[in-house]
């Protein structure tokens, strides 16, 4: 019990006013504050919102312009090794040595990560099995499909049993079956590790994440549990039947999440604080609605 709470205290990754400005006056991350604990954090935001920048800063691949990162009591901004020693990363663009087999490639990366010699082969056996790569372990990576390469990328991130695992767009290239087994793997990892997962696809994160961070133009627009995000949307999502010619004015006046065209006209899915028309019916919100809201505007707050 005591060792559990000590581990929890040590496995507390925190960003304090983390700020990144690039030379072209672009504020990629704007004084972000957050605490990451064991479990899955889903990082979502539109193109250019700052997801990869946050990941690069957490992974110590870039230095912040201001602010700090701590792990437990240790200052990782002063000593980048604090995180590097216990980090597994799948970057957005992951390159492999084409002529190697997955086993050779993982051996090479295990040496780079300084995994203890006696642990290397059992760990690689285990990872190849978990990522469903055992059968192709002797084929050269140049013969691999996008999804197979991505699984090799996921395997290398887990080498050396890191406590913090960051996946930048991990589901890119995975087919539906591969996605299902990746989700199982994530749920397993999240029991004891900090897992940070960025994705454009909210539904990929929705049922998995313990907390969701929405980034909007470098700002942390919201960082909360899926339940609380859904709570914030209660009584604010409407199904609204309209005629085709009303669409433009609805799009101007309301946040339209979806448009369903059918023989009688259109049915919109709309976010609004009050019933938009007398024919509008309240519908149960989903995380897609919440994401669209929080990533488009500061219109809502989570109470």
From CA 275, how far away is CA 138, in angstroms rounded?
61
Rule CB under 6 A: which residues touch ligand ATP?
22, 24, 26, 28, 45, 47-53
CB of 178 to ligand ATP, least distance (A): 21
Nearer to ligand ATP, 52 or 101 (CB): 52
What are the tokens at 278?
Answer: 């007398």
Cα dihedral: 225, 94, 106, 133 (round 10): 70
Helices within 163-299 (DSSP H only): 176-189, 202-206, 226-233, 247-253, 287-296
Provide the H-helix boundaries in the chain.
2-10, 51-58, 81-84, 102-112, 117-130, 146-158, 176-189, 202-206, 226-233, 247-253, 287-296
- 176-189 vs 146-158: helix axis angle to the nearest 10? 10
The SS3 assignment for 68 reads strand
Closest CA to 130 of 93, 157, 104: 157
Q: How many Cβ atoms are within 10 Å of 79's Cβ, its own excluded? A: 13
C-alpha 4: how far from chain center: 26
The contacts of residue 38 (CB under 8 Å, 6+ apart) are 8, 11, 190, 191, 192, 193, 194
For ligand ATP, give the closer residue by CB, 19 or 130: 19
Q: How far is CA 279 from the centre of its chain?
A: 38
Spatial distance between the Cα atoms of 266 and 90, rounded to a whole number of angstroms: 42
Parallel/antiparallel/unpaired status of strands 87-90 and 164-168: parallel
């Amino acid at each position: 019990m005591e060792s559990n709470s000590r581990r929890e205290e040590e496995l507390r990754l925190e960003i304090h006013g983390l700020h990144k400005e690039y030379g072209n006056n672009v504020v990629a991350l704007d004084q972000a504050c957050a605490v990451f604990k064991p479990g899955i954090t889903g990082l979502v935001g539109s193109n250019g919102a700052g997801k990869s920048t946050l990941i690069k800063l957490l992974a110590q691949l870039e230095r912040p312009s201001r602010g700090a990162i701590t792990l437990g009591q240790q200052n990782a901004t002063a000593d980048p090794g604090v995180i590097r020693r216990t980090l597994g990363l799948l970057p957005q663009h992951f390159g492999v040595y084409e002529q190697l087999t997955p086993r050779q490639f993982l051996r090479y990366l295990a040496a780079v990560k300084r995994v203890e010699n006696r642990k290397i082969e059992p760990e690689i056996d285990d990872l190849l099995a978990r990522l469903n790569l055992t059968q192709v372990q002797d084929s050269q990576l140049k013969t691999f499909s996008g999804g197979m390469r991505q699984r090799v990328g996921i395997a290398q991130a887990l080498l050396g049993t890191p406590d913090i695992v960051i996946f930048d767009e991990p589901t890119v290239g995975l087919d539906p079956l591969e996605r299902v087994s990746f989700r199982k793997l994530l749920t397993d990892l999240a029991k004891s590790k900090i897992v940070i997962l960025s994705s454009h696809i909210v539904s990929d994160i929705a049922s998995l994440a313990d907390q969701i961070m929405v980034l909007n133009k470098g700002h942390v627009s919201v960082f909360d549990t899926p339940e609380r995000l859904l709570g914030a949307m209660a009584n604010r999502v409407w199904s609204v039947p309209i005629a085709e010619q009303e669409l433009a004015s609805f799009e101007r006046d309301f946040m339209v999440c979806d448009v369903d065209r059918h023989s009688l006209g259109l049915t919109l899915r709309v976010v609004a604080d009050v019933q938009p028309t007398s024919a509008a019916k309240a519908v149960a919100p989903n995380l897609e609605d919440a994401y669209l809201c929080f990533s488009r505007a500061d219109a809502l707050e989570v109470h």
